[in-house]
Amino acid sequence: GSLFRIASLSKPLTAVAVLRLAEDGKLSLASRALDVLEESTLSGPAGPANGTLAALPAPADPRFRDITILHLLQHTAGFDRDRSFDPMFRSVDIARALAVEPPVRPEHVIRYMLGQPLDFAPGERHAYSNFGYCLLGRVIEKVSGKDYERHVREEILAPLGIRRVRIGRSLKEGRAPGEVAYHAKGDATGPAVVGAVGSPVPWQYGGWCLESMDAHGGWVASAVDLARFAAALDGSARSMILSPRSLEVLFARPAGRAGHEENGSPSPAF
């Protein structure tokens, strides 16, 4: 079947990869994310143009150090784009702030966000976060020692016989074999963040950097392959990806106020 950009359906791929690393004893969900990331220089899949960051700066908000891997998985880490902003769509602004050429890589986004305040204390409540899954992508790279895309394709998708699913490309000429073409309503354009930065381009081809959104929204896949992936998470004996315990974590409601009302009843957000 045709390949499509799957946007945030990319997040389950990242979540499953993290849980598999935890099963293999390479990662604890209770680990603090910065402790994991600070163990070595970050590297990422978005290309070498801007170089890698030699070290992470100290977070401006000390609560950043309280963020665990589980917080990131469950969208309870303290990032709320409705209260502040979504950094994954601010490539040019972040590049300007860091004095690098756009599009920024995930490592640059992380460095920038370490200078921003959290929107709430980690674990306090739930707020959907693209940036949280950007962090998880870098955790996967650090722990596995491999590029994020390569790790997910080799360790999660290949055992299921899924071989065409991959990270998409921002520009039309970078489309994967069998990938559809996209059309914006009314032929809308926006300022390019990839290629001729600042020039008007079709919004869907250069208005954002898909490669830098890898772990939260960068994959392309067919409907058939997504169904095959989902079937491996149905909790039956056929599951070839995660243990029953990991499947419980995957579908669990966050503890405390993040997943419940003040009276203890389940939050309708889940």
8 part of the active site: yes
Contacts 24+ apart (CB under 8 A), 150-154: 151/17, 152/13, 152/14, 152/17
141: helix, strand or coil: helix
In our burial notation (b when 16+ CB lie closer than 10 A, e otherwise), range 12-42 reads bbbbbbbbbbbeeeebebeebbbebbeeeeb
Six-digit token pair at 255? 């503890």
Catalytic residue, candidates 2, 8, 28, 84? 8
Work out whether strand 189-191 and strand 4-5 pair parallel, antiparallel, or are unpaired: unpaired
Contact 226, 206 (CB under 8 A): no
Catalytic machinery residues? 8
